[in-house]
Amino acid sequence: MSTILMTKNKILDGRAISSAILSELKTKIHRLDGIPTLVAILVGDDPASKIYVSMKQKRAKEIGINTRVINLPASTSQEQLHETIQDLNEDKTVDGILLQLPLPQHLDSNQAIAIIDPNKDVDGLNYINFGKLHMGLEGFNPCTPLGVIEMLKRSDVKMEGKDAVVIGRSNLVGKPLARMLEMENATVTLCHSKTRNLKRYTEYADIVVSAVGKPQTITADMIKQGAVVVDVGISRTKNGLVGDVDFELVKLKASKITPVPGGVGPMTIAMLMSNTVNAFERRRYT
């Protein structure tokens, strides 16, 4: 087998996997007795946030999900934001609510997320859904960790009985992903910025996930031969977008590895679409 083919087989291609998921969702939506509706709330004029919302709208439109964006000025108060969310909670035509983060500094995102109806919380960030995840109950899970798990499953990566290390303890990725891996019967170690001698944990792990947003967090000497490496981090450098992992060298040792971009990112959007369809079905059929 050529070196090029061997390398290609190692890549966990988020674009290809997410495309397959979106195709499945499109077929599913055509069979529903209605059209799911996703509403995004965008506060302020952050360019990156506008791009992210636009990408989500595009994917939704491609598979048949109705979307609309509520644009609020950067001067929006906490009370005004809560009123907007509450209106969407009460709107029976809305299945999913997406609050695009980050918010302007004067707004408390935790308070705002707590207002979202858990049954419409397709980002899976409301404390009720967060609690359900950690109790092993059915709810909406955060899209990025959900995307990582789905990617591993569809790539035939066995998690049961494996030693997994998650680096990063955010409520958005690290903590929920550690719990999801645990639910797949992996033995999980959660590391973070205060962890001493990170290599001591990663060099024996079967699965390593880095979600800190710091280039060169994971180098080749920190990974054992044949490990699966998932790079959730993303940083903008003079050479373009890079992840947490020293990709070119780590891929020589990894059995499977995600690229940046093109790895976890597309999976996050696919899981948002999946959660929205699930929200529609739960509201209509349960």
Residues annotated as catalytic (active site), given as ranges: 56, 100, 123
Task: For residue 10, give both structure tokens.
Answer: 């190692």
Can you spell out the DSSP letters for the chain? --HHHHHHHHB--HHHHHHHHHHHHHHHHHTSSS--EEEEEEES--HHHHHHHHHHHHHHHHHT-EEEEEEE-TT--HHHHHHHHHHHHH-TT--EEEE-SSPPTTS-HHHHHHHS-TTT-TT--SHHHHHHHHHT-SSPPPHHHHHHHHHHHHTT---TT-EEEEE---TTTHHHHHHHHHHTT-EEEEE-TT-S-THHHHTT-SEEEE-S--TTSB-GGGS-TT-EEEE---EEETTEEE-SB-HHHHTTT-SEE--SSSSHHHHHHHHHHHHHHHHHHHHHH-
Q: Which residues contact 112 (CB under 8 A, 6 or more apart)?
A: 78, 81, 82, 85, 99, 103
